[in-house]
Amino acid sequence: MTKEKTAKKTSPMQFIQQVRQETKKVTWPTRQETTVTSIMVLIIAVLAAIFFLLADGLISTLMKPLLG
Domains in the chain: boundaries: 33-68
Q: How far apart are CA 8 and CA 15, in angstroms?
A: 12
Q: Output the DSSP codes for 1-17.
A: --PPPPPPP--HHHHHH
Residue pair 28/37 in contact by the 8 Å Cβ criterion: no
Q: What is the pLDDT of residue 68?
A: 79
Q: How far apart are CA 42 and CA 38, in angstroms?
A: 6
* Per-residue pLDDT tens digits for 9-61: 889 999 999 999 999 999 999 999 999 999 999 999 999 999 999 999 999 99
Residue 2 has pLDDT above 80, yes or no: no
E strand or H helix that includes residue 40: helix 31-67
